[in-house]
Structure formats: C-alpha cells, structure tokens
Amino acid sequence: MTEKEDDKPGGMKGIWRGLQQTIYGMAAHDMSRAALRTRASMEHLFILITMGDLLGVPILPPYYSLRLLPYVVPQIATWKRRMLREKDVSDAMF
C-alpha cells in the first residue's frame, strides 16, 4: 500500500496516481481492511491450534503440527503484537 520515493511518478502521471489512490481510499480501503481483519482472525485460530504443542497441550497430533509449523512461524511476531496490545471499546468500533 505504500511506495518508495523513487517509485513515485511526477507531473500528470503523479496527479493521476494520486487521484486513483484517493478514490481507492474512499471506495475500497475499508473493505480491504475488513478482509485483512477477517484473515487475521482466521490465522489466530490456526496459530492457536498449532501453538498448543508449545504449551504442552497437543491439540493436533504432532505430525500435523510439524507440517503446519513453517506456515505459522512467519505470523508469530505480528500475532503477538495483536494479541498483547491493550484494547478497548473504541478499538472494536473501527
């Protein structure tokens, strides 16, 4: 969703790109955020299942946990951030 300074076109192209991005922001950015949020919730469930082994609670048989582990590892850092962050009602509103 971001672009490096070098990638930014100038002149009319830049204005056109800016307009496109602004329209996208108005029309569809909240939809893509909602989709990301849904995916993140699914991933949390997924992580919860596989992370059971870490706690010594084998929710899945270890064979399947090990097969799934490579998919889980990249998500752990962001998962921790989301899970441990303090939240209140207003977080649930937007």
**Binding interface with another protein (CB under 8 A):** 1-3, 17-18, 21-31, 33-38, 40, 78, 81-82, 85-86, 88-94
User: Minimum Å distance from CB 73 to another protein?
Assistant: 15
For 58-79, letters b (16+ CB in 10 Å) and e give eeeeeeebeeeeeebeeeeeeb
Which CB atom, from 10 or from 56, has the smaller least distance to another protein?
Answer: 10
From CA 27, how far away is CA 5, in angstroms rounded?
Answer: 25
User: Minimum Å distance from CB 28 to another protein?
Assistant: 7
Which CB atom, from 55 or from 88, has the smaller least distance to another protein?
Answer: 88
User: Minimum Å distance from CB 64 to another protein?
Assistant: 25
- Say what the alpha-carbon torsion angle 25, 27, 30, 33 is, to the nearest 10 degrees: -70
